[in-house]
Amino acid sequence: MNQRDRAIKLVKSDFAAAFRLAGSIENVRERNQALGWVARYAPADQIYRVIAAVNTGTGTSSDLYEQVMSLAWPIRALHETGNSKMITSLLLPATRMAASVSPVASRAEAISLLIHAALPAGLTLANPAITSLISLCNQAHWRAIRAFVNASLLVNRHDRQRALQIANAIPDGNKRKSTIERIGNIESIEPRPFFW
């Protein structure tokens, strides 16, 4: 069991030990994911302190994909603990870093995770990630197309026009057409869970 998994296991029974362990993790992805779990189950007066320990790009990471995608955990934790007003402090640096994630297919997946994390807090808060995804409209890689389809269906439960805007950016004509039909049929998907 790695340090992240040990911190996650501790989080519901010993906040202080879980926070110390999560804060000592060197790998950015594992650290941010563990801190997301710690924030999710932290006492209310400790959440700001935990979020302040999250790496939003100030350190070094050899893998920007991992750094961006890992911010989804603390973002969702902020929503689930009633601290959605703090989401922007993580989401904006994440979307800025996402612009440098390569290859583009990985960029689309990282942004997709950010949308899954932020959208339950409201469309307005998730918009920076959605706009970042739409900027990839000329990318025909299947992973990018999957991210567009999923984002369209996630957003459809909040705003049909915004869902259509995302769907119309899908570069593959057949996928675009079928997604627009699914939106018209009021189909939607739920955001993925991050904690259990």
> Tens digits of per-residue pLDDT, 31-50?
999 999 999 999 999 999 99
Domain map (residue ranges) of the chain: 3-184
Q: Stretch 53-75: mean pLDDT, rounded?
A: 86
Going by the DSSP 8-state scheme, the letter that residue 80 receives in this structure is H
Report d(CA 136, CA 115) in Å as an integer.
14
Instruction: Return the structure tokens found at 133.
Output: 């995804």
Identify the sign of the CA torsion 72, 132, 120, 78.
positive
Q: With the CA atoms of 131, 97, 4 and 35 taken in that order, what torsion angle do they form, in degrees rounded to the nearest 10? A: -70
Q: With the CA atoms of 67, 69, 73 and 78 taken in that order, what torsion angle do they form, in degrees rounded to the nearest 10? A: 90
Name the band, by pLDDT with cuts 50, 70 and 90, for residue 58: low
CATH class of 3-184: mainly alpha
**pLDDT digit string (tens) for 115-173?**
999 999 999 999 999 999 999 888 889 999 999 999 999 999 999 999 999 999 998 89
Confidence at residue 74, expressed as pLDDT on a 0 to 100 scale: 98
Cβ neighbours of 195 (radius 10 Å): 14
Name the band, by pLDDT with cuts 50, 70 and 90, for residue 57: confident
What rounded mean pLDDT belongs to the chain? 94
Instruction: Return the structure tokens found at 21.
Output: 């362990």
Reduce the DSSP state of residue 84 to 3 states and report it: helix
Confidence at residue 61, expressed as pLDDT on a 0 to 100 scale: 58
Report d(CA 173, CA 180) in Å as an integer.
11
One-letter amino acid at 20 equals R
pTM: 0.94
Mean pLDDT is lowest, of 44-53, 55-64, 83-92, 168-177, for 55-64
